[in-house]
Amino acid sequence: MLKTSHHLERLEVSFEVFGGVAVVQTLHHPLRIGRVLTGNEVALAMTRAPKRRTVANAIVEAVRDFRNLKTPDVEPVPDDVRIDGKTCLVTGANCGLGRAAAIELARRGGNMILACRPGHDETCDEIREASGSETVEMLEVDLADVRSVHRCCDEMQRRGIRISIALMNAGLMTPTARETPQGYDTMFAVHFLSKRVMIDRWLQDGVIRPAEPGGEPPRIVFVSSESHRSADAIEFDHLGEYAEYGIKESMRHYGLSKLLLSTYATELSRRLNPSGTTDVAVHALCPGGVSTRIARDAPALLKPIVNPVLRLFFRSPEKAIAPITYLCCAPEAGTSTGMYLHLMNRKPVSDSAANPDNGAKLWEDSEAMVARSRDAT
Ligand SMILES: NC(=O)c1ccc[n+]([C@@H]2O[C@H](COP(=O)([O-])OP(=O)(O)OC[C@H]3O[C@@H](n4cnc5c(N)ncnc54)[C@H](OP(=O)(O)O)[C@@H]3O)[C@@H](O)[C@H]2O)c1
């Protein structure tokens, strides 16, 4: 049995065993799915790992990050840092990280809007009870359907809602391609397009307003993933095109959708803060491996292995929200923009996501999809 110092290594690799069989295949290491790796096996896998940018390589890098973590760059936000009266919207707040983050923001005094899929009526009461706050309400939205995104934005506009902190958390890992009502891949729509559409609307409708001189900037925080580093370059000629894929390709598409998100987040930060002062603080993060329901769509055969591994070895959402709390609440994260945290460490996003040409092209090439989304309503 391994000592505590190896636990994180085991977790990261085990988790990704669900995400992609590729881990096992590409490391050229005869590991069976479901067997927990020992520390030596992880180390061996790391030395054998190919240098090219593959999903497996990114995972190996993530394991190395864990091994090399020394001192966090940023400190957990003390409990007495409050956000009283600030309106906070959290997408995907009914479970996992989003739920834990919503409770934390409510505890600190935020007026909460939970933007969740229909069918989570109990969530508001649960979050009220867990946080002791009464100012918690639900707005229904299905981020895989841009018509639903527009309906949600219409309601926010009609009610004159103004957001101080938007936590764009909702996400999923589909085991195979899944087409949305508008003909996009679901991970593309949920991780990238719906955020683009929603934030465009918020800025147009005044739901998010850049800070006045001397005022406090609103914050937009994206939950991305280190898997964005392993993605192939964005194929702009095929942006948004739906293509079938199976389980072996699922992790690749997850990584690609997170690359689109990280590229968009970086570009949004540039565009909203052109003068060098922070008018809207735009940040992103990867929480590391967290025991949530992200693996809920794992093939039935793998679930008896994956779920206990997640529960036993991954961090709880309550612990894993530390970087979210930092970016949403820490005073210093409100006066800067473009920060990316992996756990509690600052990192640059990948070169591809940071590249301004990619950011501008993604912005321009997705304009037509944003315009079409209005026609779909
Ligand atoms: N868990 C990890 O190890 C890990 C690592 C890196 C990054 N992340 C990221 O963390 C974020 C939160 O995931 P999690 O781990 O907390 O997983 P989770 O427990 O499965 O929570 C995901 C949330 O997203 C919501 N969601 C999914 N599709 C949606 C849609 N079409 N419309 C609206 N909401 C939707 C889910 O709602 P329903 O319950 O209705 O489906 C749920 O509330 C994701 O962006 C994920 O990519 C997670």
User: What number of other Cβ atoms are within 10 A of residue 266's Cβ?
Assistant: 26
Residue 214 CA, ligand 1 centroid: distance in Å: 35
Give Cα separations from 143 to 33, 246, 282 (angstroms): 32, 22, 20
Residue 170 CA, ligand 1 centroid: distance in Å: 4
User: Quick one: pLDDT at residue 306?
Assistant: 75
User: Quick one: pLDDT at residue 58?
Assistant: 45
Q: Which CATH architecture fits 87-297+315-375?
A: 3-Layer(aba) Sandwich (3.40)
Give the C-alpha separation, 76 to 17, whole Å. 30
Residue 172 CA, ligand 1 centroid: distance in Å: 5
Alpha-carbon torsion, ordered 352, 256, 333, 277, to 10 deg: 50
Question: Can you spell out the DSSP letters for 8-54?
Answer: HHHHHHHHHHHH-THHHHHTT--PPTTPPPPHHHHHHHHHHS-SS--
Atom of ligand 1 nearest to the CA of 143: 32
Per-residue pLDDT 10s for the chain (377 aa) are 222 222 333 333 333 433 333 233 223 233 333 334 444 444 334 333 333 334 444 445 555 555 556 689 999 999 999 999 999 999 999 999 999 999 999 999 999 999 999 999 999 999 999 999 999 999 999 999 999 999 999 999 999 999 999 999 999 999 999 999 999 999 999 999 999 999 999 999 999 999 998 899 999 999 999 999 989 999 999 999 999 999 889 999 999 999 999 999 999 999 999 998 999 999 999 999 999 988 888 878 777 877 777 777 789 999 999 999 999 999 999 999 999 999 999 999 999 999 999 999 999 999 999 999 988 76
Taking CB atoms and a 6 Å cutoff, what residues make up the pocket around ligand 1? 15, 91-92, 94-98, 116-117, 141-144, 169-172, 190, 223, 225, 286-287, 289-290, 292-294
User: Quick one: pLDDT at residue 81?
Assistant: 98
User: What is the domain partition of the chain in residue ranges?
Assistant: 4-68, 87-297+315-375
Give the C-alpha separation, 113 to 169, whole Å. 13
- Could you say which DSSP state residue 360 is in? H
Residue 197 CA, ligand 1 centroid: distance in Å: 19
Is the distance from CB of 283 to CB of 3 less than 8 angstroms? no
Atom of ligand 1 nearest to the CA of 190: 31
User: Quick one: pLDDT at residue 30?
Assistant: 31
Atom of ligand 1 nearest to the CA of 94: 43
Supply the residue whose CA is at minimum distance from atom 21 of ligand 1: 96
DSSP β-bridge partners for residue 115: 91, 139
User: What number of other Cβ atoms are within 10 A of residue 180's Cβ?
Assistant: 20
Is the distance from CB of 112 to CB of 130 less than 8 angstroms? no
Residue 290 CA, ligand 1 centroid: distance in Å: 11
Residue 61 CA, ligand 1 centroid: distance in Å: 23
Give the C-alpha separation, 187 to 254, whole Å. 7
**Phi and psi torsions of 168, nearest 5°:** -90, 85
Give the C-alpha separation, 88 to 45, whole Å. 42
Give the C-alpha separation, 340 to 346, whole Å. 6
Q: Euclidean distance between the first and final Cα of the chain, in Å?
A: 56
Sheet with 345-346: strands ordered across: 136-140, 111-116, 87-91, 165-168, 219-223, 281-286, 340-342, 345-346
Q: What does pTM read for this prediction?
A: 0.87
Question: Can you spell out the DSSP letters for 123-166?
Answer: HHHHHHHHHT-S-EEEEE--TT-HHHHHHHHHHHHHTT---SEE
Residues 109, 112, 117: CA angle, nearest 5 degrees: 155
Atom of ligand 1 nearest to the CA of 120: 40
Is the distance from CB of 109 to CB of 83 less than 8 angstroms? yes
Atom of ligand 1 nearest to the CA of 173: 47
User: Quick one: pLDDT at residue 91?
Assistant: 98
Supply the residue whose CA is at minimum distance from atom 44 of ligand 1: 171
Residue 96 CA, ligand 1 centroid: distance in Å: 7
Give Cα separations from 241 to 64, 180, 280, 351, 370 (angstroms): 34, 12, 31, 24, 14
Residue 258 CA, ligand 1 centroid: distance in Å: 13
Residue of 123, 167, 221, 292 to mutate, ligand 1, most atoms within 8 A of C-beta: 292
Q: For the chain, give the number of residues.
A: 377
- Could you say which DSSP state residue 176 is in? S
Residue written as tokens 């065993």?
17
Residue of 12, 59, 97 to mutate, ligand 1, most atoms within 8 A of C-beta: 97
Give the C-alpha separation, 377 to 372, whole Å. 9
User: Quick one: pLDDT at residue 190?
Assistant: 98
How is residue 100 written in tokens?
A: 């834990």
User: Quick one: pLDDT at residue 65?
Assistant: 55
Atom of ligand 1 nearest to the CA of 292: 19
How is residue 278 written in tokens?
A: 């922070």
Q: Which residues, at least 6 apart from 255, have a Cβ–Cβ distance to it below 8 Å?
A: 55, 58, 225, 227, 228, 229, 230, 231
Give Cα separations from 197 to 56, 149, 167, 192, 216 (angstroms): 32, 8, 15, 9, 24
Give the C-alpha separation, 32 to 125, whole Å. 43
User: Quick one: pLDDT at residue 55?
Assistant: 42
